Structure 1
Amino acid sequence: MNDRPAGAGGGGRTGVGARPVRAGADMTAPTAVRYALVPVPRLSLATVARRSGLHPELIRRFVALGLVDAERDSAGHLVFDPTAPAVLARIQRLRSGLCLNYASIGLVLDLLDRISLLESALRGRGTRRETPPWT
Protein backbone atom coordinates (compact mmCIF):
# COMPACT_ATOMS: atom_id res chain seq x y z
CA MET A 1 0.00 0.00 0.00
CA ASN A 2 1.21 3.53 0.38
CA ASP A 3 3.03 2.61 3.59
CA ARG A 4 5.89 1.23 1.53
CA PRO A 5 9.27 2.94 1.72
CA ALA A 6 9.73 5.79 -0.74
CA GLY A 7 12.55 4.05 -2.62
CA ALA A 8 10.81 0.70 -2.98
CA GLY A 9 9.45 1.23 -6.48
CA GLY A 10 6.80 -0.98 -8.01
CA GLY A 11 8.59 -4.23 -7.19
CA GLY A 12 8.31 -3.57 -3.47
CA ARG A 13 4.53 -3.66 -3.31
CA THR A 14 3.10 -5.47 -0.37
CA GLY A 15 -0.24 -7.04 0.35
CA VAL A 16 -2.29 -9.89 -1.02
CA GLY A 17 -1.30 -9.47 -4.67
CA ALA A 18 2.31 -8.44 -4.15
CA ARG A 19 4.59 -8.59 -7.15
CA PRO A 20 8.02 -10.09 -6.48
CA VAL A 21 11.17 -8.01 -6.75
CA ARG A 22 12.67 -8.72 -10.14
CA ALA A 23 16.27 -9.72 -10.62
CA GLY A 24 18.43 -6.75 -11.43
CA ALA A 25 16.22 -4.31 -9.53
CA ASP A 26 18.06 -1.33 -8.11
CA MET A 27 18.28 -2.07 -4.41
CA THR A 28 20.85 0.67 -3.72
CA ALA A 29 18.37 3.56 -3.96
CA PRO A 30 18.06 5.50 -0.71
CA THR A 31 14.88 4.70 1.18
CA ALA A 32 12.86 6.71 3.62
CA VAL A 33 10.38 5.02 5.93
CA ARG A 34 7.14 6.82 6.66
CA TYR A 35 5.44 6.26 9.99
CA ALA A 36 1.74 7.00 10.29
CA LEU A 37 0.91 9.25 13.22
CA VAL A 38 -2.78 8.61 12.77
CA PRO A 39 -4.12 5.24 11.64
CA VAL A 40 -5.15 5.34 8.00
CA PRO A 41 -8.77 4.32 7.55
CA ARG A 42 -9.15 1.28 5.33
CA LEU A 43 -11.87 0.91 2.73
CA SER A 44 -13.92 -2.24 2.30
CA LEU A 45 -14.26 -3.99 -1.05
CA ALA A 46 -17.86 -2.78 -1.36
CA THR A 47 -16.83 0.84 -0.75
CA VAL A 48 -14.00 0.68 -3.27
CA ALA A 49 -16.32 -0.95 -5.83
CA ARG A 50 -18.93 1.76 -5.31
CA ARG A 51 -16.41 4.62 -5.52
CA SER A 52 -14.64 3.24 -8.57
CA GLY A 53 -17.74 2.02 -10.39
CA LEU A 54 -16.20 -1.43 -10.92
CA HIS A 55 -17.57 -4.85 -10.06
CA PRO A 56 -16.09 -6.37 -6.89
CA GLU A 57 -14.97 -9.49 -8.79
CA LEU A 58 -12.94 -7.34 -11.19
CA ILE A 59 -11.30 -5.62 -8.23
CA ARG A 60 -10.50 -9.03 -6.71
CA ARG A 61 -8.91 -10.00 -10.04
CA PHE A 62 -6.79 -6.82 -9.99
CA VAL A 63 -5.64 -7.70 -6.46
CA ALA A 64 -4.76 -11.24 -7.57
CA LEU A 65 -2.78 -9.83 -10.51
CA GLY A 66 -0.93 -7.44 -8.19
CA LEU A 67 -2.27 -4.30 -9.87
CA VAL A 68 -3.94 -3.00 -6.69
CA ASP A 69 -2.58 -3.39 -3.19
CA ALA A 70 -4.88 -4.82 -0.54
CA GLU A 71 -4.63 -6.43 2.84
CA ARG A 72 -6.92 -8.73 4.78
CA ASP A 73 -8.57 -7.67 8.00
CA SER A 74 -8.99 -9.95 11.02
CA ALA A 75 -12.14 -11.46 9.45
CA GLY A 76 -10.28 -12.24 6.21
CA HIS A 77 -12.01 -9.57 4.09
CA LEU A 78 -10.08 -7.41 1.66
CA VAL A 79 -9.39 -3.86 2.84
CA PHE A 80 -7.85 -1.11 0.75
CA ASP A 81 -5.93 2.10 1.16
CA PRO A 82 -8.02 5.27 0.56
CA THR A 83 -6.09 5.82 -2.69
CA ALA A 84 -7.34 2.53 -4.21
CA PRO A 85 -10.18 4.13 -6.24
CA ALA A 86 -7.64 6.47 -7.87
CA VAL A 87 -5.36 3.53 -8.67
CA LEU A 88 -8.29 1.66 -10.19
CA ALA A 89 -9.20 4.70 -12.30
CA ARG A 90 -5.59 4.83 -13.54
CA ILE A 91 -5.76 1.15 -14.48
CA GLN A 92 -9.01 1.70 -16.36
CA ARG A 93 -7.53 4.69 -18.24
CA LEU A 94 -4.51 2.63 -19.28
CA ARG A 95 -6.74 -0.25 -20.35
CA SER A 96 -9.16 1.83 -22.41
CA GLY A 97 -6.82 4.56 -23.63
CA LEU A 98 -3.87 2.43 -24.68
CA CYS A 99 -5.64 -0.93 -25.19
CA LEU A 100 -3.15 -2.66 -22.89
CA ASN A 101 -3.70 -6.08 -21.36
CA TYR A 102 -3.49 -6.41 -17.60
CA ALA A 103 0.05 -7.83 -17.61
CA SER A 104 1.22 -4.81 -19.60
CA ILE A 105 -0.60 -2.48 -17.24
CA GLY A 106 1.39 -3.91 -14.33
CA LEU A 107 4.62 -3.17 -16.18
CA VAL A 108 3.49 0.36 -17.08
CA LEU A 109 2.50 1.05 -13.46
CA ASP A 110 5.92 -0.14 -12.27
CA LEU A 111 7.65 2.07 -14.84
CA LEU A 112 5.53 5.09 -13.91
CA ASP A 113 6.37 4.54 -10.22
CA ARG A 114 10.07 4.33 -11.09
CA ILE A 115 9.93 7.50 -13.21
CA SER A 116 8.23 9.32 -10.35
CA LEU A 117 10.96 8.21 -7.93
CA LEU A 118 13.73 9.26 -10.29
CA GLU A 119 12.14 12.65 -10.93
CA SER A 120 11.74 13.31 -7.21
CA ALA A 121 15.38 12.31 -6.64
CA LEU A 122 16.47 14.75 -9.33
CA ARG A 123 14.35 17.51 -7.81
CA GLY A 124 15.87 16.74 -4.42
CA ARG A 125 19.37 17.15 -5.82
CA GLY A 126 18.47 20.27 -7.72
CA THR A 127 20.07 18.88 -10.89
CA ARG A 128 17.02 18.90 -13.09
CA ARG A 129 17.34 21.41 -15.88
CA GLU A 130 14.45 23.36 -17.28
CA THR A 131 15.80 22.94 -20.81
CA PRO A 132 15.97 19.48 -22.34
CA PRO A 133 19.39 17.99 -23.14
CA TRP A 134 20.81 18.70 -26.56
CA THR A 135 20.26 15.11 -27.78
Structure 2
Amino acid sequence: MSYPLSTRPRLRLESVARRAALHPELVRRFVALSLLEASRDAGGELWFPLTAPATIARIQRLRAGLGLNYAGVGLVLDLLARIQELETALAERGATRWT
Protein backbone atom coordinates (compact mmCIF):
# COMPACT_ATOMS: atom_id res chain seq x y z
CA MET A 1 0.00 0.00 0.00
CA SER A 2 1.30 3.44 -0.81
CA TYR A 3 0.31 6.84 0.47
CA PRO A 4 0.79 10.11 -1.38
CA LEU A 5 3.23 12.51 0.21
CA SER A 6 1.08 15.48 -0.68
CA THR A 7 -2.39 16.10 -2.01
CA ARG A 8 -2.93 17.24 -5.55
CA PRO A 9 -4.18 20.84 -5.78
CA ARG A 10 -7.85 20.98 -6.69
CA LEU A 11 -10.78 23.36 -6.78
CA ARG A 12 -14.18 23.30 -5.12
CA LEU A 13 -17.38 23.53 -7.16
CA GLU A 14 -18.09 27.09 -6.06
CA SER A 15 -14.60 28.22 -7.03
CA VAL A 16 -14.84 26.65 -10.48
CA ALA A 17 -18.29 28.15 -11.07
CA ARG A 18 -17.13 31.59 -9.96
CA ARG A 19 -13.99 31.49 -12.14
CA ALA A 20 -16.04 30.39 -15.15
CA ALA A 21 -18.86 32.88 -14.39
CA LEU A 22 -21.40 30.03 -14.46
CA HIS A 23 -24.08 28.81 -12.10
CA PRO A 24 -22.88 25.80 -10.09
CA GLU A 25 -25.77 23.71 -11.45
CA LEU A 26 -24.43 24.13 -15.00
CA VAL A 27 -21.00 22.99 -13.82
CA ARG A 28 -22.68 19.95 -12.22
CA ARG A 29 -24.44 19.28 -15.54
CA PHE A 30 -21.08 19.34 -17.36
CA VAL A 31 -19.86 16.70 -14.91
CA ALA A 32 -23.01 14.59 -15.41
CA LEU A 33 -22.52 14.79 -19.20
CA SER A 34 -18.85 13.74 -18.79
CA LEU A 35 -17.67 16.99 -20.32
CA LEU A 36 -15.77 17.95 -17.19
CA GLU A 37 -13.62 15.80 -14.91
CA ALA A 38 -14.41 15.83 -11.20
CA SER A 39 -14.06 13.59 -8.17
CA ARG A 40 -16.09 13.30 -5.01
CA ASP A 41 -14.75 13.23 -1.49
CA ALA A 42 -16.15 11.09 1.33
CA GLY A 43 -18.80 13.74 2.02
CA GLY A 44 -19.96 13.76 -1.61
CA GLU A 45 -18.52 17.19 -2.44
CA LEU A 46 -17.25 17.71 -5.98
CA TRP A 47 -13.58 18.57 -6.50
CA PHE A 48 -12.04 19.65 -9.80
CA PRO A 49 -8.53 19.74 -11.25
CA LEU A 50 -6.92 23.15 -11.68
CA THR A 51 -7.57 22.87 -15.42
CA ALA A 52 -11.37 22.85 -15.00
CA PRO A 53 -11.92 26.57 -15.75
CA ALA A 54 -9.92 26.23 -18.98
CA THR A 55 -11.94 23.17 -19.97
CA ILE A 56 -15.17 25.07 -19.32
CA ALA A 57 -13.93 27.93 -21.49
CA ARG A 58 -13.23 25.41 -24.27
CA ILE A 59 -16.75 23.96 -23.88
CA GLN A 60 -18.26 27.42 -24.13
CA ARG A 61 -16.19 28.30 -27.23
CA LEU A 62 -17.26 25.08 -28.97
CA ARG A 63 -20.92 25.71 -28.14
CA ALA A 64 -20.88 29.35 -29.20
CA GLY A 65 -18.42 29.21 -32.08
CA LEU A 66 -19.53 26.01 -33.76
CA GLY A 67 -23.08 25.78 -32.45
CA LEU A 68 -22.49 22.23 -31.20
CA ASN A 69 -24.83 20.49 -28.78
CA TYR A 70 -23.28 18.96 -25.66
CA ALA A 71 -22.92 15.54 -27.31
CA GLY A 72 -20.97 17.18 -30.14
CA VAL A 73 -18.85 19.12 -27.66
CA GLY A 74 -18.00 15.86 -25.89
CA LEU A 75 -16.96 14.26 -29.16
CA VAL A 76 -14.75 17.20 -30.12
CA LEU A 77 -13.16 17.27 -26.65
CA ASP A 78 -12.39 13.55 -26.93
CA LEU A 79 -10.86 14.03 -30.39
CA LEU A 80 -8.76 16.98 -29.23
CA ALA A 81 -7.48 14.94 -26.27
CA ARG A 82 -6.60 12.05 -28.59
CA ILE A 83 -4.75 14.38 -30.96
CA GLN A 84 -2.77 15.76 -28.00
CA GLU A 85 -1.86 12.22 -26.91
CA LEU A 86 -0.67 11.32 -30.41
CA GLU A 87 1.36 14.51 -30.75
CA THR A 88 2.97 13.87 -27.38
CA ALA A 89 3.83 10.30 -28.37
CA LEU A 90 5.37 11.56 -31.62
CA ALA A 91 7.40 14.16 -29.79
CA GLU A 92 8.68 11.55 -27.34
CA ARG A 93 9.82 9.39 -30.26
CA GLY A 94 11.63 12.32 -31.80
CA ALA A 95 9.39 12.53 -34.85
CA THR A 96 8.73 15.87 -36.43
CA ARG A 97 5.33 17.42 -36.00
CA TRP A 98 3.12 17.48 -39.08
CA THR A 99 1.06 20.49 -40.03
TM-score normalised over the length of structure 1: 0.66
Alignment of 1:1-135 (within 5 A): 38-128=6-96
1:72 to 1:63, Cα distance in 2 relative to 1, 3 A: same
CA RMSD in angstroms comes to: 1.6
Higher fraction of helix: 2
Structure 1's unaligned 5+ residue stretches are: 1-35
Structure 2's unaligned 5+ residue stretches are: none
1:37 to 1:96, Cα distance in 2 relative to 1, 3 A: farther
Which consecutive segments of 4 or more residues in structure 1 shift more than 2 A?
none
Distance in 1 (alpha carbons) for counterparts of 2:16 and 2:56: 9
Distance in 1 (alpha carbons) for counterparts of 2:97 and 2:61: 30
In the TM superposition, what is the alpha-carbon distance from 1:55 to its structure 2 partner? 0.8
Q: Which amino acid aligns with 1:128?
A: T
In the TM superposition, what is the alpha-carbon distance from 1:77 to its structure 2 partner? 1.2
Greater relative contact order (Cα < 8 A, sep 6+): 1
In the TM superposition, what is the alpha-carbon distance from 1:103 to its structure 2 partner? 0.2
In the TM superposition, what is the alpha-carbon distance from 1:129 to its structure 2 partner? 5.3
